[in-house]
Amino acid sequence: MKPPYDLPELLAALDPQAELVQRHLWLIALLEWLRGERSTVAATLARLNLLLDTMQVRPQTQLRLQAWWQTMLDTLDGTTLLADYGFSSRSAFLSEFFERVRCKLLPGTPETADASALFSLVLCDAFDAQWLAALDEATLQRMADLLLPATTPSADHNGAAISPWQNTLLEAITFCTSQVRAAGFSPELRLRMSAPAREAGPFHALAHDVDRLRDAYLASPQYDSAARQAALLNFRERLEACRQAAASVYTHLDAHGISVNLVFQLRQMRERVLRIRALIDCLLSASPNSSTARLLAHLVLVGQERRSLGALIAANTSLLAAKVAERSSEAGEHYITRSASEYRDMLRQAAGGGALTALTTWMKFAVMALGLSAFWSGFWAGAAYALSFVVIQLLHFTLATKQPAMTAPAMAAKLKDLGDPNAFKAFADEVTHLVRSQVAAVLGNVLLVFPAVLLISAALQQLTGRPMIDLKEAEHVFHSLTLLGPTALFAAFTGVLLFASSIIAGWVENWFVLHRLDSAMRYNPRITAVLGRARAQRWAAFTRLNISGFASNISLGFMLGLVPAFAGFFGLLLEVRHVTLSAGQLGAACASVGWNVVYEPALWWAVAALPLMGALNLLVSFYLAFRLALRAHNVTGIDRVHVTQAIAQRWRHAPLSFFLPTRDPLTLPATKDGDCG
């Protein structure tokens, strides 16, 4: 039928004997009329009261509505709506993801006996949650009086008289409880629960407790007996014990790692426990009508979230992001220098990294000289980068631009403690240490890679009679690195790749821990038979210590080599501008041209681009990692004004501390009231 949106037409079209799909279309049209233009909640409530007033003066129409309502109750099973709506019938994240894609792409039909499917069509707007939550007790009672006379009490197997709605609530509580119990017995959760939680076995007694509550309610549905109170209290305590047992999984994530599927199951269980509490309120609270309205408003919001891919991804990857950020934070502390000796160590490590990057530059140009296709040229250049970065890691040297994505989570973690009066000053100290460390690392890399490339090129000239690159390639280097070109854009894009490599590193380390590969390397009989127990122990410890660095360095190397090749395939002229590698390429170009290069403006435009390149490499990767870490650590409500003032005050009183270490701890003058420091 064509949905009428005028109240007299709607009431005239009300037919309890109509076909199922026509009855459902009428309900959809009624809700569309109630919403109106969705301007205000008050307007929708006024329409609802108009409907109730009209029904009150039209007894025949009211009887038809009651018959229509009774037919719908007989046709639809509300238990599935109350117990399962908003929850996935699948236990894996990916299957739920593709189910939501299917729901977004394929339309639903009102020709259904599934109460959940009909609910998603009838109350399909987030505005519905607002006006449902705004219903007062008087209006809710009028709605109940309008519909309830058409319902007759039904008797259960013990002969207790309960309404169909009460029976539906009892069934929904039972079904939802069985889902919680099944989740608690799943091996992925059970094996990660704490030993006391497993020994207490709260999930074992859950079925008995819900049966006891059901029996106590059916024995006295009209009044709150002592037995019913005791059963309810015991069931609530058991539910809380189950929730606590599931929550104990979170305390073992460092040792066992975490997966998206695990988070998915934990969230499903927590939401089901909350749903059971809401259903109990609808059944046993002093104001069941208000509890029912709140539950329906919640179901509307759950339905909106159930159709959202973004909500699914954000909810179920947030904890994984937190673990990735936490692991990066632990590594990031290593890159922050706080004393003169640590600063000197950073310069030495960065100088070593710069010297080795000179060899990387040579390998990159050697690959380019082979004249391979774009893919294979990028692949072997990426392999050269990855090999070089891994060697830098194993020799305990430093590549400057890899630091920000690691140090950002360490900085974000410190923002959780800004309630302390001295927290802003302490955070300004950390910013100072961080900036100084980054400056030292970049300087150490760049100031060593340039002369090292010159030496390698001179050696090649003596041995082969040719420099590292010819004049044509040198001109291309000057042209590609110039400040006048898209260097800034490419440098920022490289910062994104640096951030991505840190995420890959955290994910791989979590995956390594999740699957307990270090333990497998130590004790697996096949491995120990080949390596021997002692060597297996050493290899396991070495891999556990370095797995994050290997993943970061290898992924970064191949991204630097392959991403431009893939981008070129799609017509995107994206290139990478890594400050240390670019400085090495500039050194090779200078060696090819000779001393006359100092008179070339192209050289100085390229030199001018290096500071910008380094800044963008650092800032973009730091910003992205910092934003992720803030969300992962759940850091909100930061007083940005006070943080900025503290850093600005440090800059005014000790600007050199951002570049050079101080002998004594930094001290700032006392601040005035209202100022931060």
Write down the residue that tokens 């009624």 correspond to.
Answer: 30
| Cβ–Cβ under 8 Å, residues 76 and 115 | yes
Flag residues of the chain having pLDDT under 70.
Answer: 1-5, 89-93, 149-161, 253-257, 314-335, 402-422, 629-640, 663-677
Angle among Cα 151, 157, 160 to the nearest 5 degrees reads 55
Q: How far apart are alpha carbons 652 and 671 in whole angstroms? A: 13
| Interacting residues of 439 by C-beta distance below 8 A, sequence separation 6+ | 658, 659
pLDDT at 67 (0 to 100): 92
| Interacting residues of 656 by C-beta distance below 8 A, sequence separation 6+ | 662
* Paired strand residues for 155: 161
Query: Can you name the CATH fold of 322-658?
Result: Glycerol uptake facilitator protein (1.20.1080)
Task: Give how far the C-alpha of residue 59 lies from the chain's centroid of Cα atoms, to the nearest Å.
Answer: 55
pLDDT at 588 (0 to 100): 93
Q: How many CB atoms lie within 10 A of CB 512?
A: 17
Q: How far apart are alpha carbons 104 and 361 in whole angstroms? A: 49
| Cβ–Cβ under 8 Å, residues 353 and 400 | yes
pLDDT at 46 (0 to 100): 93
Instruction: Tell me the pTM.
Output: 0.66
In 76-124, alpha helices (H): 78-84, 93-105, 115-122
| Interacting residues of 328 by C-beta distance below 8 A, sequence separation 6+ | 405, 406, 408, 409, 410, 502, 505, 506, 625, 629
Domain positions in the chain are 322-658
Q: How many CB atoms lie within 10 A of CB 32?
A: 16
Q: How far apart are alpha carbons 563 and 565 in whole angstroms? A: 5
Instruction: Name residue 515's amino acid.
Output: H
Q: Is 162 helix (H, G, I), strand (E, B) or coil?
A: strand
Write down the residue that tokens 């030496």 correspond to.
Answer: 455
- Phi–psi pair at 161, nearest 5 degrees: -85, 120
| Interacting residues of 40 by C-beta distance below 8 A, sequence separation 6+ | none
DSSP state of 106: S
Q: How far apart are the first and last CA of the chain?
A: 70
Task: Give how far the C-alpha of residue 388 lies from the chain's centroid of Cα atoms, to the nearest Å.
Answer: 32
| Interacting residues of 79 by C-beta distance below 8 A, sequence separation 6+ | 168, 171, 172, 175
In 370-402, alpha helices (H): 374-394
Instruction: Name residue 368's amino acid.
Output: M
pLDDT at 607 (0 to 100): 94
CA nearest to 115, candidates 202, 234, 24, 5: 24
Dig out the tokens for 324 from the structure: 């990735």
b/e for 187-223, b at 16 or more Cβ within 10 A?
A: eebbebbeeebbebebbebbeebbebbbebbbeebee
Per-residue model confidence as pLDDT tens digits over 161-215? 678 888 999 999 999 999 999 888 888 788 788 888 888 888 988 999 999 999 9
Q: How far apart are alpha carbons 599 and 107 in whole angstroms? A: 69
Per-residue model confidence as pLDDT tens digits over 569-616? 888 888 999 999 999 999 999 999 998 889 989 999 999 999 999 889
DSSP state of 154: E
Length of the chain: 677
Q: Is 161 helix (H, G, I), strand (E, B) or coil?
A: strand
pLDDT at 623 (0 to 100): 81
